[in-house]
A and B are shown apart, each in its own frame.
Chain A
Amino acid sequence: MASFDFEGKRVPLQDGDTIASALYRTGVRTFTRSMKHHRRRGLYCLTGDCPNCLVNVDGEPGVRSCTTPARDGMMVKRESGLPSAELDLLSIADRAHALMPVGFYYKTFIRPRFAWEVAERVIRGATGVGRLPVGREPRMKENRCVHTDVLVVGGGVAGLAAAAAAAGRGGSVILCDEGRLGEKVAPGPTLERIRALESELREQPSVTILERHTAVGIYEGPLVPVVGEEALLQVDPGRIVVATGAVESHAVFRGNDLPGVWLGRGAARLAGVHSLRPGRRAVVAAETTEGLEHLRTLREAGVDVVAAVVPDSLAGRVPAGVPVVRNGRVGKAEGRKEVRAVVVLTASGPQRIDCDAVVLSLGFAPRDALLRMGADLPVGGAGEVVQPGCSLDEAVESGRKAGGGEPSPVPQAEPARLGRAGYVCLCEDVSVADLEQAWSEGWHSSEILKRYTTATMGPCQGAMCGRLLSSFVARRSSSPTAGSPTTARPPVRTVPLEDLAGGVHEVIEKRTALHERHLELGARLDWSGSWKRPFNYGDTAEEYRAVREHVSLMDVSTLGKFLVAGRDATTLVDRVYPCRIENLAPGRSRYMLALDEAGYVMDDGMICALEDGTHYITSTSGGADRMEAWLRNWTDRWDLHVHVVNQTPMLGAINVAGPRARDLLSRLCDDPIDRESLPHMAHREITVAGVPCRAIRVGFVGELSFELHHPRSRSVELWDALMDAGRDLSIRPHGLDALEILRMEKGHFYLGQDTLPDDHPAKLGLSWAVAMDKPSFIGKVALERMAEIPVERKFVGLAFEGAVPGRGVPLYAGDRIVGRVTSCAESRVLQRAIGLGWLRAVDGEFPSVLRAEERTARVVPTPFYDPEGARLRA
């Protein structure tokens, strides 16, 4: 037999059980302890509105046991109370309200200052609002975007009618409900109507019914986040019908929070749906006709209704055999652990009635938070949310109208009845006396009274108490607006953060066309920005040696690659980039910096002039998206006739580097690639092993190299041909680990690793790459402005005595920190530790001998390796 574990005991399950109904059947009456005063709280609303039944399920705190279906094998426990909710020593707090007056955190534990840090921890632990499940695997929910013409929130009578009417007008409809349709309703006319409407609706192909999907808010757009069991839906509807119904009025009297005090629909659900008795002897206080239905449901379940407290208008409809108390009002519930008796106030004086349950059907509070937060949007209400207490026919009519695009007007909120004692806010333990106290301290409107007392700020988000708070203010204030309802904001239901984070685990991993080849070669692939790239192929030293002594390949397909074409292409690149463009002949390339408008280095790359007046531009791998947006922005702002084609995903690129690179290529290529035909900083179209390539002579690694840009679809073919042809040349590919040393020996920086966001070219020693005599380029005026300021910080090469220091360590001149090491490695050719880093001027001069982690560091000129570039130009 199915069962779950409750605090070490086995709780058997029946069909249709919620966690709450199964627990109640085994005799559990105290579900939680209240937050401040540790009073017993039991089942009350059974509609998911009140905070009384929150339990911990499988480590997740704050689960509403009354609306969560029970499943076999669950681990359920109560969160509050010391040592347990049943026997709570902290209930002493109920005798000592003075210790924790309203607004206590503004009044107590203020001095000494450390007191609050201690007290906060103690108080937080005592509230029993649940502990975060640390270490638990998060649920990986999906994130889906859903478009629909009409979204109906709420699957009651009005919601179902609205969905049918909306579907009848054509167009798509989504109806969502936080539970299963009709699951909370006891058998009777309402349930019959729901089933009839539901079966009609299920015939409609344009309607999607989403059960156990909770709409938690309405944002402008409108956008409605709907939390389902598998996914977070971002619903983007044309219009919204809110049919969330109403909750029965929370009544405030002394003892109103005792276990055994029920809202009518809660008691009826327990009796009618779960066949459980909310008590043996019940007093039913009914001021609505629905209350009389509840009374009948209770009697059918075997509850002895010992009194019906009803107004004159309903007295005649109370079933025979039930004692009637006319025009009475429940004034007090007595009992320590549970209700033992109620005192009913009547015109002829108080009347005490022994009972173990008090069932209240005193009116309705619309569940209108969604409606209120959608006030400026195409959002309309239907059914009880706009006509609390309406009949079934009225609900259907209102739903049909709203579904057809004609929502009912939102009525003025009616003041709620408020007793002189008892708990207004169950979540935060705020009583009428607390509100009175706060009022006397001068907090005279709903909004500030709410903030001061925290009433309405608990898990129920004001569903039970919002109207009561307004009524309290209206009663005390002379201002007509002081009692306005407080602003409704999402979420209207508690949502685990992991649900709102749905979809964030779906990381986009970019791969080059050679991904599989790298894996076959034993590469260690890891993240490099949004790409997965080979860091090494198992032997960084040999990879390094292949570049310096033989020939090596590197997959550089991740580089940003752009074609800039059109009538104004040259104008665009000339006005965007600081390098000289007008003398860049077709077939030649130039190193290019991209500066932002503040003159800071944003990116770098190569610019290649093509025969037809277009330009082929490369950028760093991480800067590709930004470079495209940047070029397109200026095209748009300057109103130029330019096409910017981002070829990054279409083209692969393989760098063939090393002293034997030309030998290797000449085996596969008939085009001229000799020193005269294709010199350093030149490019041309060649065919390598049948693959059309643009070969660019550049060198980040400081050896003879050819960057072969080619169609991505042919990357594998080209790579294989090169690897085959180079076998007797000791070819092997190199990864980012080897590149790190190779580029450092040449003194090349990595943008972002070595540089800072406010580096202008002079700080990086790159003034040569800026043509200040050009009429204009982006950042020029800023550079002119900054040229008047002495350079206080510069990028330098470092040589260390001894071993390589840690990357990022500070550089000292005497006792002062004057810089930082941003890259460092053991140079194989120089046989010593080298690095790159930042240096600040001391009294206007840059020190040349420094200390890094107890070893001497000297500032040396870069490149460390082949300073004349003879190997590069080979």
Chain B
Amino acid sequence: MSLKIPCPHCGLRRYTEFTFGGELRDLESRDPEEDFRRVYLRENAPGLQEERWFHTFGCRRWLTLRRDTVTGRIDGLV
């Protein structure tokens, strides 16, 4: 409800300033099967997750956050 995200450029800000960008995924793969898995499948695992956030109403930069999806607790930036 009110995550506070430690933006490396702007400081601690409410999550409402950010746009969620989903789980951090592998960059690219030349293998079609691997690429399919990368594009379409998500871990969606309970516990620590590395995820992308875009600071839309701030510095307009991306960051990667380590967050516990069960408790919402933030474990810092990646």
**Which residues of A are in contact with B by a Cβ distance under 8 Å?**
145, 219-223, 236, 597-598, 625, 628-629, 632-633, 636-638, 646, 776, 781-782, 784-785
In the complex, whether B14 has a CB less than 8 A from a CB of chain A is yes
Supposing A633-B54, A781-B29 touch, asked if A220 and B1 sit within 8 A by C-beta, the answer is yes
> Is the CB–CB distance between A632 and B60 below 8 Å?
yes
- Chain B's nearest CB lies how many Å from the CB of A482? 25
A57 to B31: give the CA distance in the assembly, Å.
66
Supposing A221-B2, A236-B14, A598-B39 touch, asked if A632 and B54 sit within 8 A by C-beta, the answer is yes
B contact residues around A636 at 8 Å (CB): 61-62
- Chain A's nearest CB lies how many Å from the CB of B14? 7
A contact residues around B54 at 8 Å (CB): 629, 632-633
A219 to B3: give the CA distance in the assembly, Å.
9
Residue from B2, B32, B60, B62 having most chain A Cβ neighbours under 10 A: B2
A contact residues around B32 at 8 Å (CB): 781, 784-785
Given contacts A785-B32, A785-B35, 18 further A-B contacts (CB under 8 A): A219-B2, A220-B3, A222-B2, A236-B14, A598-B39, A629-B21, A629-B60, A629-B62, A632-B60, A637-B27, A638-B27, A646-B60, A776-B28, A781-B32, A781-B35, A782-B36, A782-B39, A784-B32
A contact residues around B72 at 8 Å (CB): 220
By Cβ-Cβ distance, the 5 closest A-B pairs, closest first, are: A221-B2, A223-B2, A219-B1, A781-B35, A636-B62
B contact residues around A145 at 8 Å (CB): 14
Which residue of B1, B39, B40 is within 8 Å of A223 (Cβ)?
B1
A646 to B59: give the CA distance in the assembly, Å.
12
27 example contacts (A-B, Cβ-Cβ < 8 A) are as follows: A219-B2, A220-B3, A220-B72, A221-B3, A221-B14, A223-B1, A223-B2, A223-B14, A236-B2, A236-B14, A598-B39, A598-B40, A629-B62, A632-B54, A632-B61, A633-B54, A636-B61, A637-B27, A637-B62, A776-B28, A781-B30, A781-B32, A781-B35, A782-B35, A782-B39, A784-B32, A785-B35
A contact residues around B31 at 8 Å (CB): 781
- Nearest residue, chain B, Cβ from A776: B28
B contact residues around A628 at 8 Å (CB): 60
Interface size class for chain B? 20 to 34
A632 to B55: give the CA distance in the assembly, Å.
11
- Nearest residue, chain A, Cβ from B72: A220
Query: Which residues in window 36-55 of B have CB below 8 A to A?
Result: 36, 38-40, 52, 54
> Is the CB–CB distance between B39 and A597 below 8 Å?
yes
A633 to B63: give the CA distance in the assembly, Å.
9
A contact residues around B69 at 8 Å (CB): none
A contact residues around B21 at 8 Å (CB): 629, 633
A contact residues around B39 at 8 Å (CB): 597-598, 782
> Is the CB–CB distance between A221 and B28 below 8 Å?
no
A632 to B35: give the CA distance in the assembly, Å.
22
A776 to B35: give the CA distance in the assembly, Å.
13
A220 to B70: give the CA distance in the assembly, Å.
13
- Nearest residue, chain A, Cβ from B1: A219
- Chain B's nearest CB lies how many Å from the CB of A817? 28
- Chain A's nearest CB lies how many Å from the CB of B77? 12
A629 to B22: give the CA distance in the assembly, Å.
13
